[in-house]
Structure 1
Amino acid sequence: MASISATSLLLLLLPISASIYTTLAASVIEDLKNLKPPHDFNSTIMKTCHHNPSIRYCSSSPVDLHEIFKSTIVASHLCNESKNPNCVESFPKIDLRNRPKIAPLYLSFNFFWKYCPLSILTIDVSNNSLESNFPIDVLQCTQLQALDLSHNDLYGDVPIESFSPLANLTSLNLSYNHFSESKISDALFFKRFNSSSFLHSGLLPHKKKFRIKAVILLVGFPIFVILMVCCLGWLCFQRPDFLPRMLRRKYRFTPAMLKAATNGFSRRNLKGKSEAVDIYRGTLRDDTEVRIEIYRGENHPNLIEECKVLVRLRHKNLVNVLGWCNNRRLRAIVTEWMEGENLEMWLLESNNTPWNHRLKILTGVVEGMCYLQEEWPEVGYDLRTSSILLSNNLEPRISRFKIGDQSCRSRKMYKLGVLLLEMLINRRPQEDFETGEAGFLEYIRMHYPGNLQKVIDQKLELTQNTFDQAKQAIGLGLMCTDVSSNQQLSLGQVFDIMSRAYQSCRVLASHSHERIHAERGRGHKRMQSR
């Protein structure tokens, strides 16, 4: 049972006479449920606000009489629970220390905190094991001088900006909670109170954790740097293809790169083998198909010097040299991969090697030779049919070079003449003749010009016009191989002759195609007229 005077209710929330309540139930929940405002409650509030407009509920609009009445009930119970000496005359503090069963209940009455009595100067809700976010409703008591929420399990962010209206707050204790450090950057708030207000709250870095972080930083960072340097060094020296293109050494390949490109130098990727060279097909990390020539022993001693020149060659009739590998374990040249076969295989194995195709190949070879003669005279080349690669559209590529090959002009013309004759006769000088090239040339001279049909490759299937062109080409080849006379032509003259012959052959082929098409059209019309 409790009697509430007008003075006490003024201090609580509402100055109403002691006759408003005759009895109060023992439980705040029961009182909130059962008690109703008296009939003159509205007029009492109006009088109170007239005499003291600073009371909180007086500034609310519209006035919620039901909430205000419930607040007086909670205030009465809370004053008694907090053991204030005279709840009739004063309500200076809310003391819910070590009350884990009822503290959460009172904190949940947001209507009470909304009309928090102006007399309350201290709130202590410590040691209650509260598990929630910061109870921000208590900060509506802006007249507070002391607030203690220590020894709980509060978590999340502390609403630092909501403390600004609490100008009289001089004592704050948030210690032993689990708040976030996200607001620690607000230096003014933390300077307002001493560090004891935040011990083990999560707001300030824990010294032990700080030491651990410092040790991790001081020890871990150097280790991380060392590992990064080692990793970068491994990439630079072993797998530079993983680095950005600007950080790679141009034209340089490592054994690890070539091993990865050939699937560990597998037998499946081995495309050719001789006493000195193994030839592999590989795929680089950027999906470029490459040809890798690996030299064993002391072969190719001037590899790097030659490759530095070869990588600069750029012509459609020369194989592009992409780079080299010069390692004590592996020495190799990397070039682009040609899907087609070499000229030797094409002549021997293909059933469709007409004259215009052979003429196209010869013209391309001579064009590549002209480029080298004009731009790179120090670069020699191998004109054997085995060293000339063919693309899918029969574009020839000279694939073997040698730096510093000072072969005279007549020697280069001689090799071109042998190649030209070999393509027309389709015989291997070194394999089919005991005396090699000399026997091969003598064999052709014996039948030139009157009995050429016996020596010309039968797969050519020449017409009269193309036979005449082939006869002239054989004569040109014999002139190129005749080093004892002054009849040798220049490379430019040979290119002009071959180009004109190829264009003439294309014109003849075009006219033949048109004629065949016209004859088929006339035959079709005759069939329709019948």
Structure 2
Amino acid sequence: MMDLDEIFKFTIVASHLCNESENPNCVESFPKVDLRNRPNIAPLYLSFSFFWKYCPLTIMSIDLSNNSMKGDFPVDVLHCTQIQSLDLSINAFSGDIPIQSFSSLTNLTFLNLSYNCFSESKLSDSNFFKRFNSSSFLHSGALLDHRRYTLKAIVLLVGFPVLVILMVICLVWLCFQRPDILPRKLQRSTRFTPAILKAATAGFSDKNLVGMSDVVHIYKGILRDGTEVKIEMYLDHIPRESYRNFVEECKVLCKLHHKNLVRVLGWCRSRRFRAIITEWTKEENVEMWLSGSGPPWNQRLKVLKGVVECMRYLHEEWPEVDYELNTSSILLSDNMEPLISRFEVGDQNNRRRKIYRFGVFMLEMILRREVKEEFSGGDAGFVRHMRTLNPAELQQKIDERVKVTETNFHQVRQVLSLGLTCIDQSNHEQPSLAVIFSTMARAYKANLANANHRNISRGEIKGHMHVQT
């Protein structure tokens, strides 16, 4: 039994739809609801859902196409289970199609859901799709677009290999141009590229240029990991064989590790230049240090001892490495450690010359600077003159800033005698590096002991003075 109010509403709504639709078939039988080209009726249809609940059994066709309707699928129309035709095409319906709700529409033979925005689903695999055909769902959004999937498959099959190739090309470029961007395990630790040096020096800018000549430009740079480096860039053109020798020599120098050696980090080879990259150190060398502040004896001993330690390391581990020993080529670190800065792979049979050069270096560390400057013949004239001096004359030429005292007099005389022995080539009994190292170590140890004794004595004196007070 139906409620009288519901029957009344049904009658009014049915008559209004019949009149507004201007359907000639809409007489008493009311067999068809046709709202095509009547968009003003859409709100009416949507607002009276009870009409579909009590859908007249005489309605066999529902046509709501081309009305710009929006929202989910209008499931209320499916209450008209007796209908044979349903057309919802050319609207803007969205969401899922309620496939299960169509099971009660056993008389439905025509369905048109084309040109909507339904959610994509596998309708073609369902029994619902078999009742109709693909023309019922043209551009509805519900069917899988095989062309689109074919396009996706083509893009995947073609695009993925292209992407892999591009990634490989990018990786190869990084390996050869900017290996410093790669993970540390993949980096070549000693070989630098022009791109790395360009990035480290801000494009070889003038503000990073710290020195230059016709052949070499020296830059200060900062690597990607923050390491400060010194870049010696040689602009000379050398034969290919010399390039190979240069690389092999750099490989050897990069293996040197000692606290008194400027560390060689790597090299760079390109068509325009070749470069050696070393750790950055301050530019003060021993010559500047001696002529400036006039360092005391203990600091001079520390420098001499450090140089001998490095010489011994190179002699025992890398005898093929040659190096310069003079006050201008030995730098000083922040904690006053000497750093041999100029070295190369050279002659292995030059032990006597190295000891000779160290002897000259020792004398320069002890004697006044003008003693050597008096000789225009260089080291040879200086050495010949030193051999002619007796002990008293030699002592007068000691740098007064050394401040020879009764405590350190024996150490100064011992080091001075060792230096003269090293430069004496009249016989073939030069001291070995082991003897030189032992002598310098004893002198340095004795100097430290004397310094500690003086500090203790001062402390005792201050303590007695405090007690007396």
User: Shorter-normalised TM-score: what interval?
Assistant: 0.7 to 0.9
The question of 1:360 aligning with 2:302 is answered yes
Residues 235 and 110 (structure 1), Cα distance of their counterparts in 2 relative to 1, 3 Å cut: farther
Q: Paired residue for 1:138, among 72, 76, 90? A: 76
Cα deviations by residue, 1:378-403 (Å, 9 ceiling, x for unpaired): 22222222222221111222222211
1:45-104 CA distance string (max 9 Å, x none): xxxxxxxxxxxxxxxxxxxxxxx789857864687467697898x887654333311213
Deviates more, 1:403-412 or 1:138-147: 138-147
1:262 alignment partner AA: T
- TM-fit CA distance, 1:117: 5.0
Structure 1 residue 275 displacement after superposition = 4.9
Structure 1 partner of 2:179: 240
| 3-state secondary structure, aligned to 1:290 | strand
Give 1:505's aligned residue. Answer: 447
Aligned to 1:390: 332
Percent of pairs with identical residues: 51
Query: Which residue, out of 281, 287, 291, partners 2:220?
Result: 281
Matched, 1:334 2:321: no
- 2:438 aligned to which of 484, 487, 496: 496
1:23-46 CA distance string (max 9 Å, x none): xxxxxxxxxxxxxx5xxxxxxxxx
Aligned residue among 173, 188, 209 for 2:125: 188
Paired position in structure 2 for 1:323: 266
* Displacement after TM superposition at 1:213 (Å): 8.0
Conservation of the 8 A alpha-carbon contact between 2:26 and 2:32: no
- Counterpart CA distance in 1 for 2:461 and 2:176 is 68
Identify which of 371, 378, 381 aligns with 2:323. Answer: 381
Structure 1 segment 197-212 matched on structure 2, within 5 A: 197-203=136-142
Give the match's secondary structure for 1:488: coil
State how many pairs are aligned. Answer: 456
Task: Please state how far the C-alpha of 1:338 moved relative to its aligned partner.
Answer: 1.3
C-alpha distance in structure 2 between counterparts of 1:231 and 1:373, whole Å: 45
The question of 1:438 aligning with 2:371 is answered no
What secondary structure is seen at the aligned counterpart in 2 of 1:166? helix
- 2:397 pairs with 1:455: yes
* Residue 15 (str. 1) matches residue 9 (str. 2): no
Aligned partners of 2:233, 2:101: CA distance in 1, in Å? 82
CA RMSD of aligned residues (A): 4.0
Q: Distance in 1 between matches of 2:370 and 2:205?
A: 32
For residues 193-229 of structure 1, the C-alpha deviation after alignment (integer angstroms, 9 at most, x for no partner) is 6332333334558799889989988998898778766
What is the TM-score when the length of structure 2 is the normalising length? 0.81
**Within 5 A, what are the aligned runs for 1:231-310?**
234-298=173-237, 302-310=245-253
Gap regions ≥5 residues in structure 1: 1-13, 21-36, 38-67
Matched to 1:344, the amino acid is: E
Q: Do the aligned residues in 2 keep the contact of 1:139 with 1:163 (CA within 8 Å)?
A: no
Alignment match, 2:103: 167
Indicate the residue corresponding to 1:371 in structure 2.
313
Counterpart AA for 2:102: L
Q: Residues 401 and 191 of structure 1: is their aligned pair in 2 closer, same or farther, counting only changes over 3 Å?
A: farther
Matched residues in 1 for 2:282 and 2:427: separation? 41
Letter in 2 for 1:289: E
- Rounded Cα–Cα distance in structure 2 between residues aligned with 1:116 and 1:503: 114
Match of 2:91 among 152, 161, 165: 152
- Alignment CA distance shift 1:164-1:78 (3 Å): farther
* C-alpha displacement of 1:290: 0.6
**Structure 2: which 5+ residue stretches go unaligned?**
none
Equivalent pair of 2:66/2:91 in contact (CA under 8 Å): yes
The answer on 1:314 being equivalent to 2:251 is no
Matched residues in 2 for 1:493 and 1:153: separation?
A: 99
Partner of 2:421: 479
Contact 1:150/1:177, CA 8 A, preserved across alignment = yes
Distance 1:149 1:438, change over 3 A: same
State how far apart, in whole Å, the 2-side matches of 1:365 and 1:318 are: 9
In structure 2, what is the Cα distance between the partners aligned to 1:461 and 1:428?
A: 17
2:342 aligned partner: 400
CA distance in 2, matches of 1:462, 1:416: 22
Equivalent position amino acid for 2:76 in 1: V
1:413 lines up with 2:350 in the alignment? no
In 1, distance between residues paired with 2:44 and 2:297?
104
SS across alignment from 2:319: coil
Tell me: CA distance 1:79–1:313, structure 2 relative to 1, closer, same or farther (3 Å).
same
Contact 1:344 1:386 in 2 (8 A): yes
Distance 2:122 2:337 in 1: 71
Distance in 2 (alpha carbons) for counterparts of 1:461 and 1:116: 121
How has the CA–CA distance of structure 1 residues 151 and 513 changed in structure 2, closer, same or farther, with 3 Å as cutoff? Answer: same
Q: 5 Å matches for 1:66-145?
A: 72=10, 76=14, 80=18, 94-109=33-48, 115=53, 117=55, 123-130=62-69, 132-135=70-73, 137-138=75-76, 141=79, 143=81
Give TM-score, length-normalised by structure 1.
0.72
Q: Deviations over 1:123-158 (max 9, x none)?
A: 43211112x332454387495775433212345xx2
- Amino acid corresponding to residue 331 of structure 1 in structure 2: R
Q: Alpha carbons of 1:501 and 1:188: their partners in 2 closer, same or farther (altered >3 Å)?
A: farther
Q: d(CA) in 2 for partners of 1:70 and 1:379? A: 113
Could you say if the C-alpha distance between residues 334 and 429 of structure 1 is closer, same or farther in structure 2, counting changes exceeding 3 Å? farther
Q: Deviations over 1:464-487 (max 9, x none)?
A: 222321211111111222233243
Shift of 1:423: 1.6
